[in-house]
């Protein structure tokens, strides 16, 4: 995906909006309703944006919603793209490039995931402290887009420490329990086998999912500030694995809606960048 394509998508979006967004939001499976909270919204279908992929997964509506939330100008993705949909890693992360070129210095990535840490329970929200990329791919493979970032980006603080502290403080102030842990990303679309879950847990993952990490890699390539919030929709513990469907994932994610929305709104309210 060339920079020219990104700029064409950006110009199209800019022609529909009056104010530049400064914070991007990627809403995970069953979490898209947060975009309904945006005031003075401009909704743009992915189908209309030049070079944008289209959403194929249930629970991912497939539109950008741009407007104001808690006094901040945001651009929210109501639905993301996944590697398992058959998109290249560059296509999966194209919207993050577009967000940055639109003016976003910060991004909040959210997802539905399976909890591998036995201390977690379905319905918990988790602050992503760090990630492990088990997808076997990386969106930065290929020619480096020098004007957007370096060939070898640093990933030592992928999730902005100051923003993580801010999120923890906001959660505490609002009485919202917020777990913390490491997101292990796999390609999907199969859910994990028992043996795979035991391995991922031993290798340091607290939760497992099929998204987020490619987006964070690209965001960090462009030096964006990153915050990650996971919604644990089911327990994914190898020894006691029960099986899960996407419908169940979305159902549990939907149930966390009030807490999820309160958390993100309050994080945005007092966020002053970086």
Can you give the binding site for ligand R1P, defined by CB under 6 A? 28-29, 57, 80, 82, 111-112, 188, 209-211, 246, 249
Question: Closest CB to ligand R1P among 16 and 121?
Answer: 121
Question: Closest CB to ligand R1P among 70 and 251?
Answer: 251
Least distance from C-beta 29 to ligand R1P, angstroms?
A: 4
54 CB neighbour count, 10 Å cutoff? 14
Is-contact 92 214, C-beta < 8 A? Answer: yes
Q: How far apart are CA 83 and CA 85, in angstroms?
A: 5
Q: Which residue is nearest to ligand R1P (CB)?
A: 28
Question: Closest CB to ligand R1P among 127 and 249?
Answer: 249
Least distance from C-beta 220 to ligand R1P, angstroms?
A: 18
Whether the bond into 189 is cis, omega within 30 of 0: yes
CA atoms within 13 A on the CB side of 18: 4
Least distance from C-beta 116 to ligand R1P, angstroms?
A: 14
Question: Closest CB to ligand R1P among 163 and 183?
Answer: 183
Q: How far apart are CA 223 and CA 274, in angstroms?
A: 10
* 159 DSSP assignment: S
Compute φ and ψ for 57, nearest 5 degrees.
-100, 135
Least distance from C-beta 172 to ligand R1P, angstroms?
A: 25
Least distance from C-beta 25 to ligand R1P, angstroms?
A: 13
Question: Closest CB to ligand R1P among 25 and 57?
Answer: 57
Q: Which helix (DSSP H) or strand (DSSP E) does residue 225 occupy?
A: strand 225-235
């Amino acid at each position: 995906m060339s920079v020219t394509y990104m700029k064409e998508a950006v110009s199209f979006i800019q022609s529909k909006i009056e104010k530049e967004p400064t914070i991007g939001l990627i809403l995970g499976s069953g979490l898209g309703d947060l975009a309904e909270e945006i005031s003075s919204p401009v909704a743009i279908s992915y189908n209309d944006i030049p070079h944008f992929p289209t959403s194929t997964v249930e629970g991912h509506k497939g539109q950008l919603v741009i407007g104001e939330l808690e006094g901040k100008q945001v651009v929210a993705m109501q639905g993301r793209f996944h590697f398992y949909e058959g998109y290249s890693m560059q296509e999966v992360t194209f919207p993050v490039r577009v967000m940055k070129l639109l003016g976003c210095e910060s991004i909040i990535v959210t997802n539905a995931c399976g909890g591998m840490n036995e201390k977690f329970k379905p319905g918990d929200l988790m602050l992503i402290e760090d990630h492990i990329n088990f997808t076997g791919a990386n969106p930065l493979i290929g020619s480096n887009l020098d004007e957007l970032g370096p060939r070898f980006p640093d990933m030592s603080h992928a999730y902005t420490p100051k923003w993580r502290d801010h999120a923890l403080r906001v959660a505490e102030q609002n009485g919202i329990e917020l777990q913390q842990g490491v997101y292990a990303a796999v390609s999907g679309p199969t859910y994990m086998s028992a043996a795979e879950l035991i391995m991922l847990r031993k290798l340091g993952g607290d939760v497992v999912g099929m998204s987020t990490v490619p987006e964070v890699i690209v965001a960090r390539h462009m030096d964006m500030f990153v915050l990650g919030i996971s919604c644990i929709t089911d327990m994914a513990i190898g020894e006691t694995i029960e099986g899960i469907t996407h419908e169940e994932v979305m159902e549990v994610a939907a149930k966390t809606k009030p807490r999820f929305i309160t958390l993100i709104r309050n994080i945005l309210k007092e966020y002053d960048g970086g």
